[in-house]
Chain A
Amino acid sequence: MDADAGGPQEDVEAKFGWRYTFAKVMQDTTARWGLYVITVVLLISAYTVVDSNLSRITFGALSDFTFAETLPIFEHPERIPPPGQGEENVPPAFHADGSLSNPLGTDPSGRDYFTRIVYGAQVSVSVGIASTLIGFVGGTLIGAVSGYYGGRVDDVLMRMVETVYAIPPLILIIVFTVFVSGGTPDITYAIIGVGITFIPVFARIIRSEVLSVREMDYIEAAKASGVKNRNIILRHVIPNSFAPVLVYATLQIGVTILIVAGLSFLGYGAQPPTPDWGQMLNVSHGYMHSNVWLSIWPGLAILITIMGFNLFGDGLQDALDPRIDD
């Protein structure tokens, strides 16, 4: 673009593009707060990645270096302290029997609960994003093909999508996880399972967008100049139908975290000793009478994280929906 073209263009505010969208979203209080919460959760998970590598170093080859042992803030979240070292089921710090060295107490294996809660962010966020991505990519492809070709292809694909949609996600994912893993469920199967069950919703949204995009002149032009269907879908149809799905994807991350928490709670998601919030609630379920605290913190962590994504998604929807005007 010409250098002198920048001047006059600034006067006319572009009502599209990433920068405009971002500015509009940041004007929305709800979206802003959602973004703050998400940022904090992301920063915590990013830090734990660094921290866990540091603690691995201290347990590993570099343990001779004394400085390495002071570096990690947290203990290893999965390592069960040897007998006589960590006390089990210590109540949180504000309790009379609690201490500040274990602010949220310890779990039935004597591990620091705060450390495990903090590490749980990493698990939840990565699981949420990974399975949403699977649903997003799969749904976009199916929805685009279905909407672009229409007719028989559309009928077959949409019936398939409706079928997957008809079985409650939790049930479908458990069946998938257990059978595909051959009776030994794991978080990886859970991620793939959740991703697949969310293909239908994404496919439906992108399909309805594509139905209007395919009537556009530029698609006609591309067809006339002999561009292959595959390239039209990938280069023109999908990029132009993207925005609503992106909003939906943000909201979907929260839903995904919610479902994976349920899966792990039932024992078909993350397996011990992974510090996953749902898995921690599974363990604490057996201690409801003796140690109430164990059940409270992981649930609160899930609630706050999902609320962040929901707030952001809500705000995004409001900011980008031209119909709603305050």
Chain B
Amino acid sequence: MGLLRYTAFRVVQAIPVLIGITVITFILANLAPGDPVRLMLQGQEVDQEVIERVERQYGLDRPLHERYVTYMVNLLQGDLGHSIHRDRPVTDLLIQRAGPTLLLVISAYAFALVTAIPLGIIAATRRNEPTDHVSRIVALIGVSTPSFWIGIMLILIFAIQLGWLPSSGLVYPWRSPEHYGYSGYLELAFQTIRHLLLPMVALGTLQMATLMRVERTQMIESLQGEYVKLARAYGVPERTILRKHAFQVAQLPIITIVGLNLSTALGGAVLIEYVFNINGIGRLFLEAIQSLDYQLIMGITIVIGTMFVIGVIITDISYAYIDPRVTYGDRD
């Protein structure tokens, strides 16, 4: 009950932010000097009459606030407008490209969590020993290296020099093996992983390094807690203390960081999709920017902003669900 109410509360709280995202995108898209149709034509000579007709067709001749209201009304019905350049609904384009991006971001997070948590714990339990120093240096390099450069280096080493892994594109596990000419689902799975490996590591390294630093500090703090001292005094084995007492408490901030870093990960996906030629939302965004496809740019920005807001809400709620100390509303 309390959790349900908290969820509802968080969703309501997010509404002004979601509206804000649409306002910012709308204003930015209309900040451009000159009229959008001319800007899109990029210097091509066209009759004034044609421009006016296109403007009328897309409602560009009406005042800004009227256009915003129309846009919002359509948005609430799931219509993100029509891409003039591609002559297709923006919603269709986004749905088509969402899969690869989600596959990439989720696998990058999986990689980051699987590596960061054990490394952070090892570093914390062997504080100020060589293992700790090495892992701290690795984490420091991880947060200081541009993800796209990691991608370039991985391509240079594993694709160009060694020739072990492919350097571009993804294989989508939701397609049939026949589509790629593979013998069966086993090969499809194998090829999916092969293609995903390099972009996943490139995008996940920053997350891994960030999470590892947090995990280490949290574990150190948690191991110094009163309850750990008490457990030690009772003679509870160190392994059990680590697993049962210290570990669980230390995981809570990790959840928050995962949610907040979603923004960095989605931005990083733009760069990684560019480096690895992955046809996701990130590449779509770059293509839209290049052709100054207003409707598409606005659609992508709004969808990505919304994805981030939803991500933060989910982490907040799971935080409340997991942490028994936090109660929201009447739960008894």
Number of chain A interface residues as a range:
35 or more
Q: How far is the CA of A160 from the CA of B17 in the complex (A)?
A: 7
CB of B289 within 8 A of CB of A178, answer yes
Taking CB atoms, residues of chain B closer than 8 Å to A288 are 152, 155-156, 160
Question: B63 an interface residue at 8 Å Cβ cutoff?
Answer: no
Specify which chain A residues have a CB less than 8 angstroms from the CB of B309 in the assembled complex.
166
A235 contacts partner chain B, Cβ-Cβ < 8 Å: no
Q: Which of A74-82, A239-247, A299-307 is the contact stretch?
A: A299-307
A165: nearest residue on chain B (CB-CB)? B263
**Using a CB-CB cutoff of 8 Å, which residues 28-79 of chain B contact chain A?**
28-29, 31-34, 39, 42
Bound: A258/B149 CA distance, A: 11
Q: Which residues of A contact B34 (CB under 8 A)?
A: 182
Contact with B along A167-192 (1 / 0, CB 8 A): 11111101110111011000000000
A165-B263, A168-B263 known; A261 vs B301 contact (CB < 8 Å): no
User: Closest residue to A326 on the B side, CB-wise?
Assistant: B128
The interface centre, meaning the residue of B17, B146, B266 with most chain A CB atoms within 10 A of its CB, is: B146
B 258-275 to A, binary, CB cutoff 8 A, 1 in contact else 0: 000001101110110011
Q: Which residues of B contact A86 (CB under 8 A)?
A: none
- Whether B81 sits at the interface, judged by CB under 8 Å, is no
**How many residues of chain B have a CB within 8 Å of chain A?**
49
- Across the interface, name the chain B residue whose C-beta is closest to A285: B152
Partner of A167 from the list B16, B148, B308 (CB cut-off 8 Å) is B308
For A44, list chain B residues within 8 Å (CB): none
* Cβ A310 vs Cβ B140 within 8 A: yes
Interchain CA distance A303-B144 in the complex, whole Å: 5
Interface string of A78-105 (1 = CB under 8 A from B): 0000000000000000000000000000
Chain B: minimal CB distance from A92 (Å): 15
Task: Assess whether B189 is interfacial by the CB under 8 Å rule.
Answer: no
List, sorted by A's number, 23 A–B pairs whose CB atoms are closer than 8 Å.
A163-B21, A163-B24, A164-B24, A166-B21, A167-B308, A168-B270, A170-B267, A171-B266, A171-B301, A174-B285, A176-B28, A183-B32, A258-B144, A262-B148, A266-B271, A288-B152, A288-B155, A295-B153, A299-B152, A299-B153, A303-B145, A303-B146, A310-B144
The 8 closest A-B pairs by CB, nearest first: A163-B20, A168-B267, A170-B267, A299-B149, A307-B144, A306-B144, A182-B33, A167-B305
A: residues with CB less than 8 A from B are 159-160, 162-172, 174-176, 178-180, 182-183, 254, 258, 261-262, 265-266, 268, 278, 281, 285, 288-289, 292, 295-296, 299, 302-303, 306-307, 310-311, 314
